[in-house]
Structure formats: C-alpha cells, structure tokens
Amino acid sequence: MVRDAIEDIEINLLLEALQRRYHYDFRHYAQASIKRRLRQAREQLSFSSFSAMQEAVLRDSALVPRLLNYLTVQVSEMFRDPSYYRAIRENVAPHLRTYPSLKVWIAGCSSGEELHSFAILFREEGLLERTLFYATDINPGALEAAASGVYALDRIKAFTENHQKSGGKSSLSDYYTAAYGRAVFDKALRSQVVFSDHSLATDAVFAEVQFISCRNVLIYFDRPLQDRALGLFRDSLARKGFLGLGSKESLRFSTHAEAFAEFVREEKIYQRREP
C-alpha cells in the first residue's frame, strides 16, 4: 500500500517534471495506462525508481524522445476498422465534395497509418487535390516516421485487406513501392500534408477544418483532458464539419456533447451542430 502511494507520488512528480522542463503534459492522461507505460519505461531504461528516472530526465534531454516512445502508443494500421472508412466514403465524402477546398486534421497521427489511409481514400474519392491535411502528434519521432511513409512489408497484407474491406476503389499496391522488406508510400500522398508537433493537452486551435479524425487518442486521456480536446475540435470544426472518433470512444459524457450530432452512430462519426 505504502509503496503504491509512494509510486503514485513519484509518478506525479515525474510527470510534473516532464511538463515543467519539456512541456510535455501527461498529467491528464488516464492514470492506469500512464502508470503501466511508465513502469515499462522504467524497467526498460533500467532505473531503480521513478525518482531516479526523474532526476535523469531533468538533466538529460536525450532521454526524452526515448521516454516519449514509451508514453505514446504507436500501434495502428492502415484502414483500421474498415467500416469507419467505408462510412466516410459513403456518408461523409458526398458532403465534403461540396467544399471547394478542404482541410482535414488527423489529431494524434502517430506513425501516419491513419493519415495515409485518409490520403488514399481522398484520392480515390477525388478529393485529395483540394485537401490540405494537418497531421499532428506530440512525438517528433512518430511525426518523422509519418512523414517518411515507410512501413514494414509484412504489415502491408493486413493493410491491403483492410483497404479492400473499406470499399477501396483501387489497389493499395498502386500507392507504394516495396523494396528491402519495406514499403514506401507514394510521396504525392503527402504533398499536401502539414506535419506538426501539436499537443491536445496544451496547444490551441490552429485552423478551421472540415474533418477531424482523432481515433483512439481520447481513450488515453482523463475526463478533463478529453473535454479540452473535444473543445478544441469543436472550435476547430467548420459549421457542419465532421469529427471521427475511435470505435470505443464517444461523446456521450462530454461537456461538449451538445455541440455535436451523431452522424454515423455506429462508426462514431459526429457532425458539428450549428452554433
């Protein structure tokens, strides 16, 4: 019991230190998950305690990217939950087509699988030309990976299946070149993408967008932070703009629930109500 209590204090202090020294604010991440993640990091980086880790982190900024990799989850695949993308294709795209130019914000883009999925979907739907993507994440390493568009070849099979299930109108292989066990996705997909370090925990709205996809990010946040993020989304979305969340996420308990209407209920796609 005592040890747990001490660990809690240490974790809080460590997160406080991270925030004050490097402005990475994990203080409002879901407790259980961040604890697990930190424990893993502590073991892997071989620190005897979180206090020791804190001391090291405060003085050694080189440790931060490594720690970030533990604290942010980098698991995703292209066209994950194909039905979500199918719903976007069938229900959202016709609306998006009425805009002369589009902005899409992939919040928490991780290593870019979702971004590439969107880019491919938008190309198939004839929207890519007029769309500017904002891909944001707090982890610079992940952003770099996203901007490179390189994925292990053995993952492509699953991607391809998902793509087909999502109602893909072309072959996924049209968009990548495979060599040396990797697949590089067409640079053209990323020509209209702004990769940026942006934190939903600390940063503000930067643009008016027609679509925000923020999948499986809110689950890592606690309620106040979820509300903050959803507030950003609300302020960022154009009137009648769309918000896509992860399959396990919902707006039901958010203070901003009123600002959104369910658009495709089962896929957690919401539409901004008129203000």
Q: How far is the CB of 246 from other proteins (least distance, A)?
A: 8
Kindly provide the b/e burial profile for residues 178-195, where b requires at least 16 CB atoms within 10 angstroms of the residue's own CB.
Answer: eeeebbebbeebbebbeb
Q: Which of these segments, 8-16, 58-66, 141-149, 248-256, binds other proteins (CB under 8 A)?
A: 248-256
- Say which residue the tokens 């982190």 belong to: 57
Q: How far is the CB of 163 from other proteins (least distance, A)?
A: 18
Return the number of the residue (51 or 74) whose C-beta is nearest other proteins: 74
Of 111, 133, 107, 134, residue with least CA distance to 221 = 107
Is residue 91 within 8 A of residue 167, CB to CB? The reply is no
List, in sequence order, every beta strand (DSSP E) within 9-156.
102-107, 131-137, 150-152
Is residue 234 within 8 A of residue 265, CB to CB? The reply is no
Residue 163 contacts other proteins per CB under 8 A:
no
Q: How far is the CB of 45 from other proteins (least distance, A)?
A: 17
By CB under 8 A, the residues from 167 to 186 that bind other proteins are none
Beta strands 193-197 and 269-272: pairing type?
A: unpaired
Of 206, 197, 233, 240, residue with least CA distance to 98 = 240
By CB under 8 A, the residues from 101 to 140 that bind other proteins are 101, 103, 129-130, 132, 134
Return the number of the residue (158 or 171) whose C-beta is nearest other proteins: 158
Residue 98 contacts other proteins per CB under 8 A:
yes
Tokens of 232: 């950003």
Q: How far is the CB of 250 from other proteins (least distance, A)?
A: 7
Question: How far is the C-alpha of 4 from the C-alpha of 173, rounded, in Å?
Answer: 50
Q: Which of these segments, 112-120, 140-148, 203-211, 260-268, binds other proteins (CB under 8 A)?
A: 203-211
Residue 58 contacts other proteins per CB under 8 A:
no
**Which residues of the chain form contacts with other proteins (CB under 8 A)?**
23, 30, 32-33, 36, 73-75, 94-95, 97-101, 103, 129-130, 132, 134, 154, 192-194, 196-199, 202-208, 216, 218-220, 223, 235, 238-240, 246, 248-250, 252-253, 274
